Amino acid sequence: MSVLDKKIIDAVAITPDRVGIKLLISDHLTWTDEYEHLLILQEKINVYIMFLENGQYKDTYRDIDFKYGVIEIHFMYEPTEKTKQFLQTVQNQISELGIIIEYGVSGGETCEDK
């Protein structure tokens, strides 16, 4: 699964404190076409937000009452400054819903390396 699979949650886990649910986005795309990449990422994040808001996780985790959700994005390439600003804007908008966005770079390369 990847950021391109817009209607699929890539992975789900329970947070170590057992009161949160963590959803993973695996993003392997380069930043060559930053605009298109941001649109793809935005669509995927929106699916995850709806999944959390609608409580769709309750189909699997019936007996757990989660207090918060985490959307964890694993980028293969270092996100651009515009992407970091976008993620901060999204975080500001969804924090009142009890959703946190976290991200990191799995591949350790910047887009200038490619």
Task: Assign 3-class secondary structure to 49-66.
Answer: HHHHHCCHHHHCCCCCCC
Distance CA 63, CA 55 (A): 12
* C-alpha–C-alpha distance, residues 74 and 24, integer Å: 7
Global pTM reads 0.88
- Phi-psi region for residue 18, left (φ > 0), alpha (ψ -120 to 50) or beta? left
Closest CA to 22 of 54, 2, 51, 59: 51
Q: Is 11-113 assigned to CATH 3.40.50?
A: yes
pLDDT tens digits, one per residue of 7-54 = 889 999 999 998 999 999 999 999 999 999 999 999 999 999 999 999
pLDDT in tens, 73-87: 999 999 999 999 999
Residues shown for the chain: 114
Query: Where are the chain's structural domains?
Result: 11-113
Average pLDDT of span 46-67: 91
**pLDDT at position 91:** 97
Contacts of 49 (CB under 8 A, 6+ apart): 71, 94, 97, 99
